[in-house]
Copies of this chain bind each other. A is one copy, B any other.
């Protein structure tokens, strides 16, 4: 069965996000003042062949740890459907 895993990888809260800051300022100059902060990360969709949802989650977790994210600068969440 094919499961879809959604991996969100974001810069750690403690770290500056210069890209997000630049976008935030640009939104303000476009007149959208209600947005107070912007953080930009990655959204990765993995299509996984597995027997169960839990097995798919384990595979997504392994792939994320081995390759997709940088533990020093980023955190991640995984949801499988």
Copies in the complex: 2
Decide if the interface of chain A is mainly helix, strand, loop or mixed. strand
- Please determine whether A30 and B66 come into contact, CB atoms closer than 8 angstroms: yes
Chain A contributes a number of interface residues (CB within 8 A of B) equal to 35
What is the CA–CA distance of A9 and B38 in the complex, to the nearest angstrom? 14
CB within 8 Å of B: which A10-44 residues: 10, 20, 23, 26-27, 30, 32, 34-44
| A interface residues with partner B (beta carbon < 8 Å) | 2, 6, 8-10, 20, 23, 26-27, 30, 32, 34-50, 56, 59, 62-63, 66-68
Across the interface, A42 reaches (CB within 8 A) one of B26, B30, B34, B41, namely: B41
- Please determine whether A49 and B36 come into contact, CB atoms closer than 8 angstroms: yes
